[in-house]
Structure 1
Amino acid sequence: MRHDKAAMVIDLARRMAASAEGLTLDDISREQEVGRRTAERLRDAVIMLFPQTEEVSDPPNKRWRIRGGLSAFEQAPTTEELVELTKAAQGLRATGEPGRASALEGLERKLKSAMRSTTLNRLAPDLEALVRAETIAVQAGPRPSADEAVLTEIRQAILAGRPLGFIYSRPGAEARRRSVAPCGVMFGRANYLVAADRESGRIQTFRLDRMSGVRGEDGMASPPADFDLQAFASQSFGIYQDEIEDVVLEVSPDGAAEARAWRWHPTQTVEDRPDGGVVVRFRASGMRELAWHLFTWGEQVTIVHPARLRAVMAGELEAARRALERTSVQKKQ
């Protein structure tokens, strides 16, 4: 068996050991990106190398899993995997999220403590060199807040299907006590609780740093049966959710190469123009955040649609102009 096939067999064994319910042949085909016949051969190779593999009946399918995990030999992480874990923890700590950083650092210590000393000694020099050679560039923006106690309350309420109560404070508005059905958390430049209002059922977002007195409440409160957090997050260009609109942007030839490489939105399409530019299309809400982003493109991007995005962009420009005028007047006085 060639080395690449051997690596695929080990990877499949790890996936089987990591899955409580097991993998079907369709799962194997999809995750390994192979045809069904190749998936069958990979499954047979795993069964031959790992006799503890179990076949689970799940009509109309069959599943295969490895109970009890794999040995330290098959599970030893690579240098690249440990470096990425270290960088992820450093990135969270650098952006002001010590609670989440500590969780990853704890996982790193557990992995290293489970490794054989000879393997750890072999990886240590390369690991140290790569950690020193790579860093996280922290971008300007709101400082996210993910207080460990708040996250614990949210996660416990989600797992128990219970309501979540908290006091929510917004600038210029009176603080209110809220009771919601928690759906999940979106982490980003600012961290948000996604929850359904218990009376109207409307999905709303709440910034974690504006929440206080967070606690689980008595009763039952689950998200709508058809709610999908990933789909909800993908609707918006950023975090803010408003009306979903068709967005069409024309990018000049000077910015075309960067636009082709840019991930604008999960629904995006990029079309070439005869002049060397491109047309970017996607469906999203969050026109204000999109307008903020478009400022970074200068004259390279023209807003074709929607008109509301042009209006939001014009409003932001006018607000910036007024701020500059106030500064000029203050300097003259």
Structure 2
Amino acid sequence: MRHDKAALVLDLARRMAASAEGVTLGEIERDLNVGRRTAERLRDAVISLFPQTEEVSDPPNKRWRIRGGLSAFEQAPTTAELIELAKAAQALKASGESGRAAALEGLERKLKSAMRSTTLNRLAPDLEALVRAETIAVQAGPRPSADEAVLAEIRQAVLAGRPLGFIYSRPGAEARSRSVAPCGVMFGRANYLVAADRESGRIQTFRLDRMSAVRSEEGTASPPPDFDLQGFASQSFGIYQDEIEDVVLKVAPEGADEARAWRWHPTQSVEDQSDGGVMVRFRASGMRELAWHLFTWGERVEIVAPERLKSVMADELAAAGRALDRARHPG
């Protein structure tokens, strides 16, 4: 076990208290990485220590939950948990996400205000030292935008199952009024609304910083019943969604170790080659973003498939060459 039994019991109690529907033995096995007999022993230990634990029938399973929460003593966060929360807020602020950073900073203040003063005084020196010793390296790239008012309207529409209306502006195109069924938001190098067209049902993405006059509209508009936001996000190499392709990349021996440790895509497979290199395979859309990423690998990566990725890479190289030529020969 990665923790001693007491820590696992307390961890499970927190999970039971944090879940409105309760947890099953299968979920205990999965989340705590233990076997069935250990999961049963941990459940029994929680029931013994917390008599308020309830058993809930959910055929074909049984669930266990703790209503009313746990005491401040049992819920006191650790130094590592508090520093990770502070770093997450710092990362959001550094990337321009001041609204989301403020939400995490507010949560941090609430946690600290609920802690006993003796516990907080004990943790404070370590927290201060780690805050000074750790920072976020800000990488070049677009500054994502997640205006609090825009996010609030999107969330309201999602929760109420109502249409979302807005004006969408794209470079080089006339601004258009849109009304969609919101499915969710993807946060990343840029932040996107994922929504279904109300007529065709086609799933589309809209950059939040290009949306204005965002409002929840009257009526009902829900995502397709089989839509899964995480599954949708996993289809693409980045954010842009287009045709899904079988991607095959041959990585030279000098880049093999890095390629094995790299997370290319959720569907990836990495095969060792006789020359010491590796072959990377996955299915994804977003060939342009993949081409941009492959620039960073230089000569260490050869595109085997698909042909469209080769074409996109050639187009991007040609565009970069033209820009460089203009810089060398201005006017």
User: TM-score, normalization: structure 1?
Assistant: 0.98
Secondary structure class of the residue paired with 1:82: helix
Partner of 1:281, secondary structure, is strand
Instruction: Report what 1:9 is aligned to.
Output: 9
**C-alpha distance in 1, partners of 2:61/2:260?**
41
**Aligned match of 2:187:** 187
- Aligned position for 1:128: 128
Aligned equivalents of 2:61 and 2:3: distance in 1? Answer: 30
1:283-329 Cα distance to aligned partner (Å, 9 max, x none): 00000000000000000000000011011000000001111111122
Residue 219 of structure 1 aligns to a residue in which SS?
Answer: coil
Alignment of 1:82-161 (within 5 A): 82-161=82-161
Alignment of 1:16-31 (within 5 A): 16-31=16-31
- SS for the counterpart of 1:215 is strand
- Residues 54-82 of structure 1: per-residue CA shift (max 9 Å, x gap): 11122222111000101111111110110
> Any idea what the Cα deviations from partners look like across 1:244-267, whole Å, max 9, x if unmatched?
000000111111111111110011
Q: Which residues of structure 2 form unaligned runs of 5+?
A: none
Is the partner of 1:56 in helix, strand or coil?
strand
Aligned-partner SS, 1:90: helix
Partner-residue secondary structure (3-state), 2:27: helix
- Listed one character per residue, the Cα deviations across residues 205-250 of structure 1 (whole Å, up to 9, x for unaligned) are 0000000000000000000000000000000000000000000001
Tell me the equivalent position of 1:166.
166
Q: Which amino acid aligns with 1:214?
A: V
> What SS is found at the alignment partner of 1:213?
strand
2:33 equivalent to 1:33: yes
State the distance in 1 between where 2:115 and 2:233 align: 38
Question: 2: CA distance between counterparts of 1:277 and 1:3?
Answer: 38
Structure 2 CA distance, aligned partners of 1:303 and 1:241? Answer: 20
3-state SS, counterpart of residue 223 of structure 1: coil
Return the alpha-carbon distance in structure 1 between the equivalents of residues 251 and 134 of structure 2.
32
Higher mean displacement: 173-182 or 53-62: 53-62
Read off the aligned partner of 1:166 and give its amino acid letter.
F
The CA distance in 2 between the partners of 1:327 and 1:37, in whole Å, is 69
Aligned to 2:223: 223
Identical residues among aligned pairs (%): 85
2-structure distance, mates of 1:74, 1:317: 58
Q: Which moved more, 1:187-196 or 1:20-29?
A: 20-29
Structure 1, 286-295 or 3-12: larger mean CA deviation = 3-12
Give CA deviations for 1:77-102 in whole Å, capped at 9, x if unaligned.
11011000000001101111110000
Q: Distance in 2 between matches of 1:59 and 1:224?
A: 27
Structure 1 range deviating more: 223-232 or 46-55? 46-55
Residues in 1 aligned to 2:259 and 2:13: alpha-carbon distance in whole angstroms: 39
**Separation in structure 2 between the aligned mates of residue 285 and residue 274 of structure 1, nearest angstrom:** 29
Q: How far is 1:3 from its partner? A: 6.9
Deviations 1:168-219 (A, max 9, x none): 0000100000000000000000000000000110000000000000000000
Partner of 1:287: 287
The answer for the alignment partner of 1:251 in structure 2 is 251
Other-structure match for 1:81? 81
Shifted more, 200-209 versus 51-60: the winner is: 51-60
Query: Separation in 2 of the partners of 1:124 and 1:86?
Result: 13
Q: Which residue of 2 aligns with 1:271?
A: 271
Task: Provide the secondary structure at the position in 1 that maps to 2:265.
Answer: coil
Q: How many residues align?
A: 330
Q: Deviating runs (4+, > 4 A) in structure 1?
A: none
What RMSD, in angstroms, separates the aligned Cα atoms of the two structures? 1.0
Name the CA distance, whole Å, in 1 between partners of 2:58 and 2:237.
40
| Structure 1 gap ranges (5+) | none
Q: Residue 306 of structure 1 corresponds to which residue in structure 2?
A: 306
Q: Deviations over 1:121-155 (max 9, x none)?
A: 11100111111111111111111000000000000
